[in-house]
Structure 1
Amino acid sequence: MLEAHDLACLKGDRLLFRELAFCLQAGDLLRVAGPNGVGKTSLLRLVTGLALPEAGEIRWQGASIRREREAFHRELLYLGHAPAINDLLSPLENLRFACAAAGDDSDEASCTRALERIGLADQLDLPSRVLSQGQRRRVGLARLFLSARRALWVLDEPFTALDVNAVADLAQALSEHCAGGGMVMLTTHQDAPFTRTPRVLDVGAYAC
């Protein structure tokens, strides 16, 4: 279970939101909504421990993520808005490196299957600098197919630059993760054909 209690977020000298609270349990799909600039990405950074709240606390399985940081991060997969890939490496090399660094399954066969599923079968060995924006995005998203053991997936705009078929496949993968007892928290400006109805957390309701 992931819980947020009375969160406040300060960005620079501006208080984005305060008294924000939610609870995410096994099987939940939570869509973080609100207008641009309200603090959606900032909230994800608080949830993942990449930033500290001005007030309030985030708990994983009842314990503060600040006190149980390592245990929490073993259960977390976070994919930010920008694709974190090396332009000099191929998609296959990038994926194997990212998985190995995170301690996930990174053998060549598994990574190849993940990239093929995300639509990069013909780009496996190309240098990533020649990929389109959507293809670069898919390299990072392929990690989802290798991280089922991580209970909590936190994703910032995962559908950006994907075509209709890729959006549908990704929505199915997220729904399947929740159906298996996982949790997904994401931001998105796009409608996606989820097979599980997302709950919505409107950050704008807590804006200052």
Structure 2
Amino acid sequence: NDPASHLILPDVTGLIPDTGQTKCYDDAGEIACPQSGEAFHGQDAAYTINPPSYVKIDAQGYYLPDSATNWAMVHDLVTGLIWATSNGHHTYTWYDISEDFLSVLNDSSFGGFHDWRLPTLEELRAIVDNGVLHGQTVNTHFFHIAGATYPYYWSSTTFAEDASYAWVLDFDHGGDRKERKSDDHYVLAVRGGKAESIGNLVANADGTVTDTSTGLMW
């Protein structure tokens, strides 16, 4: 990447990054990924779509080389989203995020932008690397994630069955769960149109599911 080039602002693509899954399994455990026609063929690890691709950005909105050791934002070239890489590892209740964190970024035009927001659960999932078996399930070469045992990060997605809860993502394991909005957890800020098209799934009458974002059928 050209470290002298200024950030170009693309539209949110709606594309799904590859999950990073590299292993296949049968009923007993891990196996070599089956070929077409073999039992257990068709697992995630056998396919690669849209490999994750990131660019570091400085606080003025300029691209940096991958070797840069000081950066403020990350541009996800697959989804088009831009992430603020760290909030100093402070924690917030879900209710306090807008006033105590996002408003600070937006009022100061952090990175030259004033539309920072809380990511949806699907947007957080899009930066998870499911190929990581031990350690943080995110590319730490680009993202600064808290080193807590359970680094839960808030999403903007409210739990449908109880509005006093919202979804968090645990970057230590790559899973998600609901937490009370009054609890304190970490935050990543994102900007760009909400990638609501990530993972649009349609249940077909024959028992299969079509992902309208990629055209894949499951």
Larger radius of gyration: 2
Q: Which has the higher helix share?
A: 1
What is the TM-score with the length of structure 2 in the denominator? 0.25
Considering Cα pairs closer than 8 Å and 6+ residues apart, tell me whether 1 or 2 has the greater RCO: 1
What is the TM-score with the length of structure 1 in the denominator? 0.26
Q: Which has the higher strand share?
A: 1
